[in-house]
Amino acid sequence: MQHMALSPARANLALATLFLGMFVLGSGELLVVGVLDRIAADFQVTIPASGTVVTAYALGLAIGGPILTALTIKRDKRTVLIGAVALFIACNLIAVLTTDYTQFLLLRFLIGALQGLFISGAFIAGTSVVAPERTGRAIGIVISGVAVSGALGVPLGTLVGQTLGWRGSFMAIVVGAVVTLIGTVALIPTVPPADANAGHQARYAFAPRVLAVLFLNFIVFSATFAALTYLVPFLHSVTGISGATLSVFLLAYGVATAIGSIRGGTFADWNAERTLIIGSIGLTVSLLALYFVGTIAWLVGLVLIAWGLSFYSIVPSLQVRVITLAGPGGHLAQSLPVSAANVGIAFGAFAGGVATDKYTASATVITGLLLALVTIAVAWGTSFLKPPVVEQPSPATALADTVREPANPICHA
């Protein structure tokens, strides 16, 4: 990973721009949850059918993001970020104007893929403008944009959507993306591309040691979203919370995730392996406590804060470990944690849905708890993994390889 000698002020401005981009694009991903009813009515589809909007976006992130990252691996990352945001704006504008639901789904897939491309480019740019010992903190700042989008962007987007319609909320995202584009052009420096091609990068990015941490990423998000997806029904039926009070509890969780992501970056610089173990234990204890104190509102509030802090304190370390273990494949590997996270979100939501259908709202917490127990074991196991040892050829060997002629031209034709 290349690091540029920027002044602290310039580096902070670049990180602030990347934070804004993650916030805007993250809000664009999540706000549809609050306006699904409007989208369903506008396109004349059922509410369950409109849920495919969420699925299409997740597939775009999980599949399209890494593909676009591989295709642009040899491009300057500043150019990639500018292109990703510009196309994000264009696709959202077309989505606002379309009246065809199939076309709308395709656009959501493309927008998700562009967000995945932006995320990978943002991590590379963010870690390039700081010293190597501040890599985790830079990643934490970038990731916190997503956390804040969940805490503030989604409620605000939903409010706009309920007032001006879902198309109005999409236009608000476009405005934010335009500001991000201007900031990217003005404040993000040139970031040289990877030296190797996509095939060479993939050899390291998909090595077993990297896949093991990606599996941990998958389990962490599965455990969280098995319970989080159905948190509102849990708070309704078990804790007895509704109305404005419900929003306060959700906001407390969202703010905790934002704080956790920033502090998690510092912990990742300290010791990413140990942070994953401690964070997994915190996640498990939080879900266990939520099950036992679910009927006591003020204790539930404290548990939600602990849960948000534990969950998002893990995320920067997951990113750092994937990049570190990928070695020369770090540029391509940047995009893989978000793919693993989205698959984990989908699986966790599915598992929690099965649990709540067959049992009660509390069963979703138990489902998350069981998955969280697995994260402790996997976090401990992956802590022993080491980065690849890459042999650098000596200058004499490299020169000899360059000028060496084939012994038999016919055999090499």
Cβ atoms of 46 and 40 closer than 8 Å: yes
Phi, psi of 189, rounded to the nearest 5 degrees: -75, 170
Each domain of the chain, given as residue ranges in start order, spans: 1-193, 199-388
* Whether pLDDT at 280 is above 90: yes
Tracing tokens 């001006």 back to the chain, one arrives at 164
Instruction: Read off the amino acid at residue 9.
Output: A
Q: How confident is the model at residue 194 (pLDDT cuts 50, 70, 90)?
A: low
CATH match of 199-388 with 1.10.1740.10: no
Q: Can you give the pLDDT at residue 2?
A: 57
Q: How confident is the model at residue 21 (pLDDT cuts 50, 70, 90)?
A: very high
pLDDT tens, residue by residue, 123-174:
989 988 888 888 888 899 998 898 888 777 767 776 787 788 889 989 999 9
CA 55, CA 50: separation in Å to the nearest integer?
9
pLDDT tens, residue by residue, 303-329:
999 999 999 899 999 999 999 999 888
Fold exhibited by the domain 1-193: Growth Hormone; Chain: A; (1.20.1250)
CA 86, CA 8: separation in Å to the nearest integer?
28
Helices (H), 293-359: 297-326, 330-333, 336-358
Q: Can you give the pLDDT at residue 3?
A: 59
pLDDT tens, residue by residue, 329-352:
888 888 788 889 888 888 888 888
Q: How confident is the model at residue 293 (pLDDT cuts 50, 70, 90)?
A: very high
The full DSSP string for 257-275 is HHHHHHHHHHHHHHHHHHH
Tracing tokens 């849920």 back to the chain, one arrives at 51
Q: What angle do CA 26, 75, 70 make, to 5 degrees?
A: 65
pLDDT tens, residue by residue, 71-128:
988 889 999 999 999 999 999 999 999 999 999 999 999 999 999 999 989 998 998 8
Q: In the structure encoding, which two tokens stand for residue 43, read together?
A: 């396109």
Q: How confident is the model at residue 405 (pLDDT cuts 50, 70, 90)?
A: very low
Cβ atoms of 356 and 234 closer than 8 Å: no
CA 203, CA 45: separation in Å to the nearest integer?
44
* Average pLDDT, integer, range 252-268: 88
* Whether pLDDT at 68 is above 90: yes
Let me know if the fold of 1-193 is the same as that of 199-388: yes
Instruction: Read off the amino acid at residue 380.
Output: W
